[in-house]
Structure 1
Amino acid sequence: MNLRQWSRDLGLGVRFAFAGGREGWIRAVLTAVGVGLGVAVLLLTTAAPNALEVRHDREQARLDWPFGEPPAKSDRTLLIAQSDTTFRDKDIRGRMLEPEGARAPLPPGLNRFPAKGDMVVSPALKKLLAADDSAPLRERLPYHVVGTIGESGLVGSQELAYYSGATGLTPHVNGAVVNRLETFGDPNPSQEKTDPVLLLLILVVIVVLLMPVAVFIAAAVRFGGERRDRRLAALRLIGSDGRMTRRIAAGEAMAGSLLGLVLGTVFFLAGRQAAGTVEVVGVSVWPSYLNPSPALAALVVLAVPTAAVLVTLFALRGVVIEPLGVVRAAKPARRRLWWRLLLPLGGVAMLYPMIGQGHAGGDFNQYLVSGGVILILVGITALLPWLVEAVVGRLGSGGVAWQLAVRRLQLSSGTAARMVNGIAVAVAGAIALQMLFAGVDGDYTKATGQDVSRAQMQVRVPDGAPLGPTALKFADTKAVRKVTALWEGYLGDSSWKSQDGPQTLGALAVGECPALRELAKLPSCKDGDTFVLDGGGTSNDGPILNKPGRKLYFEQSSDDHSADVLWTVPPGVKKAHSVKGLTDWERDGFLMTPSALPKAAEKRVSGEIYLSIDESVPDAYEYARNTAFRVDPLSQPMNWTATRSDTKFSSIRTGLLVGAAGVLALIGASLLVSQLEQLRERRKLLSSLVAFGTRRRTLGLSVLWQTAIPIVLGLVLAATVGITLGAVLLRMTDTPVDVDWASVLAMTGIGAGVVLVVTLLSLPPLLRLLRPDGLRTE
């Protein structure tokens, strides 16, 4: 068949779609909405790489520490201090700026430096500061807002950030909190090699999120199948042959998909603008980030109509279209199982060679990974129609509603399976990913050792601030239950100024008796006591630092040129038994009460305050942070956590949650459109049953049973395939297979919940259809 004939037949199908009266337009619009939702997600996906790249570039462009040797003070240098904070679990990026000359570099997004007492804020932070319940934050940021940070200085539209003016930062330059720099950004960025397991996670996340979209598009182009069959029979009656008729049907589907491309573009543009006003799992973007790759967008434009034609031709391959009707109305031939099993088995075969690679076994082949996961998930769409047909064919008698539902499913099990395919694929992929994330979580989530049952926040005392009075300020702070204040440092067996430095070190902690009891079991304690801990100051040759009369040197920084401060181990020093301290490790070395510490050594130890917070008090942590700010504006209180996750691993998990939220929205919307299309096709049948006296309650229950039976079968199949895929992926990462049944049930429950919401939303249209006047026709 030549290309001209194909074009003519497809064009005729397009004309039928748009010139077929009200029914044609409704069918085309329903198809277009289903396809459009999928296209919008595909366009968003093609824009995601650009969004991530722009976010990364913005982050790199505003890096604010010197790379290499710190520059000397000049009219081109800027002092910048980190003043990050947190407000109600939201991180706020803060920087204090002090230009040292007229040519000091401006941070991206600013057009001038704020004066001391002023600040420039992000739009989201400006809105947060203006909120009625943000008084604690306004107390912590007591600056006058004089402008907003431009888009080039923010990684997302909802990022909370500010730059404030400052003076007197020079004495605090330390290369950690306060830096001197001549330019922002890394002049020589390096590409870090990504962990193979993380690459595997990224690949599987992408495939799992996109597969339901492809399934929904394939289902959407088949809307109106039964009415289309009657039109095709009419075409055969007026002289078209079977092949021509199928091509005309494919043209109708292509028309809906082309209209879907237009609607999808509209949905995408609307979603693109809306994306600038929302934040999902802590991630936000600017609309300008979401620019689809031209090549990928062109691929979507070509692939969607092509897929519509191919899916339609494939669906009609076994349908005999005759002038007097379509043979599909008779009982179809039983579906064969053997070739449907080849798809998931082929996927497992593609993944099998990579089993056991793990972290040290090299990179995973991205083509084999993508192809294998796709085949396994596509296998669901092939197996589900067979499963639905096999089960409903054996269902027996029951109530009237049950019999109506079962008979309908027996006649059109393929249509019921198509509605469920997308949700089944999404649930199976989610289960597999959840198993994979849970299995490798231990490799990327480490225990911090922080005992969160005894303290929930840690604050470093600034140099020169007295520990005791500072601790009293926190003790007087609302919602602070307990304050543990300690000076910490080290003692060495020789001067820290010597070429090799001390050979043996002993840790030192100084504090009041209650604070020292957090670290050791003390025989007795009063101010002036000194204790040596089990194993304090030992080496391979045994204890050498804790001998009475031994002279020890207090820790001294390399840029401190003052005289050594020595301490002599007193005779009769008390011994104490170490216990797991606040940071879950048993200390060695020495403990001192405040009056036992030499006055000259007070600058050789650093003060740390550990706070126990009463979390039942609203904004409990905010009061402690405000006290820390009053003690030192450069203070950065640290919330304690029992575990800490790898940044890249957390980012991938966050990306999965963001993508899953979008796919779930697509699932719900597409299912609703599909359900409404099914109800529209059955309008006359339902109206006929009502006219003959069938109760509306019975018909409503029958429709619910028609939805529930395929959904249950689909979720059972999804759980089975998901667990299998998850087990294979875990073996690929050389991780023991462990099924988290709670997660499996949770993912399955979420899928069932989406279907329940869609069913409830479809009840009002169903009730409107259950009226005898639905028999009227023109």
Structure 2
Amino acid sequence: MNRLRDLLLGAKFALTGGREGWTRTLMTAVGVGLGVALLLATTALPGALSARDARDNARNDYGAGQQEAPAAADTMLIARTDTVFDGDDIRGRLVQPEGDRAPVPPGLSALPAPGTMVVSPELRELLRSPGGKLLRERVPYKITGTIGDAGLLGPHELAYYAGSDSLTGHKALTSDRVDVERIKSFPDKKPGEPIDPILALLIVIIFVVLLLPVAVFIAAAVRFGGDRRDKRLAALRLVGADSTMTRWIAAGEALAGSLLGLGLGTVFFLIARQYVGEVTIARLNVFPSDLDPSAALALLVGVAVPAAAVGVTLFALRGVVIEPLGVVRTSVPRPRRLWWRLLLPVVGLGLLIPMFDKGRDTGFYNQGQVIGGTVLLLIGVTALLPWLIETVVRRLGGGGVGWQLAVRRLQLNSGAAARLVNGIAVAVAGAIALQMLFSGIEGDYVTSSGEDTTRAQMVVPVTSNLSKAEQQRREENLRAVPGVTGTTTLGNVGLHTKATNPEDQKYVEMAVGDCRALREVGDLPSCKDGDVFVATGGEFGWDGATAGTKLLFEAAWVGDRRGPEIPYTVPRDARTVPARVDPLGTKRGGLLVTPGAMRKFTNVPVSYTTYVTTRPGDGLVADRVLNTAWRADPFTRARVLNDVKTATKFAGVRRGLYIGAAAVLMLIGTSLLVSMLEQLRERKRLLSSLVAFGTRRTTLSWSVLWQTAVPVTLGLTLATGVGLGLGAVLLRMVGHPIHVDWPSVAGMVGIGGAVVLLVTALSLPPLWRLMRPDGLRTE
């Protein structure tokens, strides 16, 4: 009961201590509030991503096909016309209702009429902007409405639903390339593959690395105004309070600031949430309504922050002797002990080492053990940094006046300098460890696509059943696009051996093209029109065809049924050549045939693929090619080739990291600024005294800069060592060799240093305002 009374008395002092007390409490509240806002955002992030996935699931049209079912009042034809513009994905759908009860996608009140479309707000703005001119050629429908939030992943998604009256018919529904389906509803997606143990470990580490700097900063924020608080505590001892009571009163002051910080943090969060829809990080954005913290997690934050404020204050005062005439802390302090500070990372290593070489094949990692070991290693930074700063600055001396003022200040109160740097040091250490882990496992999730972007930059598949003249006309149109430097077209035909039992049939691929085109798929010694080659060493299909082998062309569709199979015999003069990987990364075997050898087979359906090479540096050529391909075929699947492909789940985790890192970086910068302003306010009278005695303002400015630069340099050095150690441990845990990406490490350290330099620059104007003789005035 006495402790509660002391806490309430301390809270009263914090709230009724005049302008000085209010200022101190407000600084603490702002610092705590910034941390609380980020904690609330973090607790809301899983729910936001779940809401985003739920909307994606609700509009899902994959797996809903009903091609075999007849048209009915409750069916609709839907064609996927996704495309890309200026590197951004655009989700497109053509819809055609087959009855008055056709399903309506989420976000739409009714299906659009033929020739019109309903678009997302972002796509509407893009189409209306001067930069959307090229896209308007590819999406030429009249805009008649806007897709509601329920039909979009986020406020910045580019999407449209366009009405059509040309999807009915055999060709659209049976094409092997055009994705047109008859659907009755939008079914739930099937559960995806479960996340693997290494990605689960990565997610846990990300949360620890992003949240720990926030906790460190909140712990530092509740200790704002430490010097002035010591004077108040000494005065309390003078009027009769014992040492235990004074500590609990100090905890009550911190409790009041933290409770006010909870309120401010909630306000900060609600304000920031209104603008979250305007922010896109790594192509991911959410609606403000999605950012709704879990009640249980929000309650945990509400309880943990005040409890941490009381605990940190009592812990900080554990070795301080408060007497009526002053605080012993102001005398020469006893050197800090090192042994227990080293114990934290050692215990952390002890928790993580048993999981070495576990990999992904032995099940999931013990999350409690991972969190405990990682937290102890990173907390080791905050424990070791005060000792390191004290040890180093004790040996510093000499130099100019500004340097000497800074060194003396650090020697007198190195703890305050450590608290200023702790947050950024922990963040940098965690970032280095994460970067090492990402670099180590990236090869498992970011792999080569096999596509050769040095031979072609785009691919334009073309429908079958085209006349040779039409195919040539389309290729000429592509070749005429500004920025296109060349095209290569290959046809593809399917054949199979004749067999009584279909299971015994052997399937053979036939590539059709001129000699230049065939050299993309085979190493030809010499070639002229009319030649036929047998490519060996292919990755799929039957590799046993030789000169004289009898085959049958795959039957073509005639109306609503297949036509007869046409016989084909491999010519006696066909030469055998080794197969070559094509620009799409496929090593096709089978037959390579020039057009002259196919003149007798005019009724054989050939599907064509055109490889397009473009001029480097032309950012619009891809969109011009896509427009040309769309004019020839609105269902085109033309696309840009990519060297690599990234696993979807890994890409999602990486996007989440970018979002969290950006938020934490903003918090760290803001919190450093608040911390620095608080320390300057604490030294207001001292700075005014020095100026009144004739000290130059530039000298004091350099003094403040050195007081920041020395702890930051030591903190970043320590963070680099701990980050490299943690990164090495994590790599051993996932069974990967230890490798350090030094440019990335330098980048992490550079970002941390740049944030501190920026904050220091922003603190100079307030510093100059404080360096006035009227700062000596007192009430």
TM over 0.5: yes
Q: 1:169 is matched with which residue?
A: 167
Report what 2:136 is aligned to: 138
Contact 2:556–2:564, Cα closer than 8 Å, also in 1: no
Which moves more between the two structures, 748-757 or 481-490? 481-490
Structure 2 distance, partners of 1:390, 1:501, is 81
SS in 2 for 1:508: strand
Hey, what does 1:530 align to over in structure 2?
532
Q: 2:404 maps to what in 1?
A: 403
Aligned partners of 2:537 and 2:578 also within 8 Å: no
Identity %: 55
Shift in CA distance, 261/602, structure 1 to aligned 2, threshold 3 Å: farther
Distance 1:44 1:585 in 2: 46
Distance 1:173 1:13, change over 3 A: same
How far residue 194 of structure 1 moved from its aligned partner, in angstroms, is: 1.5
- Tell me, yes or no, if the aligned pair for 2:539 and 2:587 is still in contact at 8 Å: no
Give matches, 1:504-653, under 5 Å: 505-534=507-536, 544-547=544-547, 549-556=548-555, 561-584=562-585, 586-598=587-599, 600=601, 603-653=604-654
Of 28, 45, 50, the residue aligned with 2:25 is 28
Q: How does 1:614-763 map to 2 (within 5 A)?
A: 614-763=615-764
> What amino acid is the match of 2:472?
G
Residue pair 2:356, 2:733 contacting (<8 A) in 1 also: yes
Answering whether residue 492 of structure 2 is matched by residue 500 of structure 1, we say no
Partner of 1:52: 49
Where does 1:300-379 land on structure 2 (aligned, <5 Å)? 300-379=301-380
Contact kept? 2:518, 2:592, Cα under 8 Å: yes
Aligned residues: 769
Q: Counterparts in 2 of 1:89-488, with a 5 A limit? A: 89-170=87-168, 171=170, 172-174=172-174, 177-186=179-188, 189-190=190-191, 192-465=193-466, 466-488=470-492
User: Structure 2 vs 1, CA of residues 728 and 544 (structure 1 numbering), >3 Å: closer, same or farther?
Assistant: closer
Give the Cα separation in 1 of the matches to 2:710 and 2:236: 36
Q: Aligned equivalents of 1:513 and 1:415: distance in 2?
A: 76
Q: Secondary structure at the match of 2:165?
A: coil
Query: Which 10-residue stretch deviates more, 372-381 or 505-514?
Result: 505-514
The verdict on how the C-alpha distance between 1:135 and 1:537 changes in structure 2, with shifts beyond 3 A counting, is closer
Work out the CA distance in 2 between the residues paired with 1:544 and 1:218. 73
Structure 2: 5+ residue stretches without partners = none
> Matches of 2:241 and 2:173 in 1, distance apart?
85
- 1:12 CA drift (Å): 1.1
Aligned 8 A contact 1:536 1:545 in 2: no
User: Structure 2 vs 1, CA of residues 24 and 601 (structure 1 numbering), >3 Å: closer, same or farther?
Assistant: farther
Aligned with residue 15 of structure 1, among 6, 12, 15: 12
Structure-1 residue corresponding to 2:79: 81
* Larger CA deviation: 293-302 vs 518-527: 518-527
TM-score by length of 1: 0.95
CA distance in structure 1 between the partners assigned to 2:494 and 2:703 by the alignment: 77
Q: Secondary structure at the match of 1:582?
A: coil
Question: Equivalents in 2 of 1:268, 1:310: separation in Å?
Answer: 25
User: Hey, what's the Cα distance between the residues in 2 that align with 1:746 and 1:538?
Assistant: 45
Contact 2:153/2:286 (8 A) holds in 1? yes
The TM-score, its normalising length taken from structure 2, stands at: 0.95
Task: Tell me if structure 1 keeps the 8 A contact 2:34–2:268.
Answer: yes
Deviation at 1:77, TM superposition (A): 1.1
Cα distance in 1 for partners of 2:525, 2:152 equals 56
Rounded to whole Å, the distance in 1 between the matches of 2:749 and 2:556 is 58
Q: Is the 8 A contact 2:688 2:774 kept in 1?
A: yes
Counterpart secondary structure, 2:357 = coil
- After superposing the two structures, state which structure 1 stretch, 63-72 or 693-702, moved more: 63-72
Deviation at 1:68, TM superposition (A): 8.1
Separation (CA, whole Å) in 2 of partners of 1:536 and 1:79:
38
Contact map agreement 1:506 1:537 (CA 8 A) in 2: no
| Alpha-carbon offset, residue 537 of structure 1 | 11
Shift of 1:10: 1.0
1:491 aligns with 2:495: yes
The one-letter code matched in structure 2 to 1:748 is V
- Deviation readout 1:533-563 (Å, 9 max, x if unpaired): 35589999xx75222x332222458996211
Per-residue deviation, 1:67: 4.8
* 1:190 CA drift (Å): 3.1
Q: Contact conserved, 2:64 with 2:184, CA < 8 A, in 1? A: no
Distance 2:685 2:752 in 1: 31
Which piece of structure 1 moves more, 357-366 or 69-78?
69-78
Measure the CA separation in 2 of the matches of 1:293 and 1:522: 65
Q: Deviations over 1:361-415 (max 9, x none)?
A: 1111111111111111111111111111111111132222111111111111110
Q: Is the 8 A contact 2:94 2:163 kept in 1?
A: yes
- What amino acid is aligned across from residue 757 of structure 1 in structure 2? L
User: How far apart are 1:280 and its partner, in Å?
Assistant: 1.4
Equivalent residue number for residue 66 of structure 1: 63
Q: Which residue of 2 aligns with 1:37?
A: 34
Using the alignment, how far apart are the partners of 1:749 and 1:646 within structure 2? 30
Kindly indicate whether the alpha-carbon contact (under 8 Å) linking 1:66 and 1:181 is maintained by their aligned counterparts in 2: no
**SS of alignment partner, residue 482 of structure 1:** strand
Please report how far the alpha carbon of residue 588 of structure 1 lies from its aligned counterpart in structure 2 after TM superposition: 2.8
More divergent stretch after superposition (417-426 vs 680-689): 680-689
Match of 2:165, as an amino acid? T
Deviation at 1:606?
Answer: 1.6
Q: 1:709 to 1:593 in 2, by over 3 A?
A: same
CA distance in 1, matches of 2:42, 2:541: 59
- Deviation of 1:671 after TM superposition, in Å, equals 0.2
Contact 2:10 2:253 survives alignment (8 Å): yes
For residues 215-268 of structure 1, give each alpha carbon's deviation from its aligned partner in whole angstroms, at most 9, with x where no partner exists: 110010111110111111111111111111111111111111111111101110
Quickly say closer, same or farther: Cα 1:83–1:69, change in 2 above 3 A: closer
**Separation in 2 of the partners of 1:538 and 1:734?**
33
Tell me, what secondary structure is at the counterpart of 1:173?
A: helix
Distance (Å, rounded) in 2 between the aligned partners of 1:186 and 1:154: 16
SS at match of 1:458: strand
- Please state how far the C-alpha of 1:277 moved relative to its aligned partner: 2.0
Deviations 1:494-550 (A, max 9, x none): 26x9521523x443211122222333343443332222335589999xx75222x33
* Gapped regions of structure 1 (runs ≥ 5): none
Note if contact 2:452-2:585 (Cα within 8 Å) is conserved in structure 1. Answer: yes
Query: Over aligned residue pairs, what C-alpha RMSD do you find?
Result: 2.0
- Which amino acid is the alignment partner of residue 21 of structure 1? G
In 1, distance between residues paired with 2:762 and 2:56? Answer: 43
Local SS of the residue matching 2:278: coil
Quickly say closer, same or farther: Cα 1:740–1:537, change in 2 above 3 A: closer
SS at match of 1:376: helix
- SS at the partner of 1:483? strand
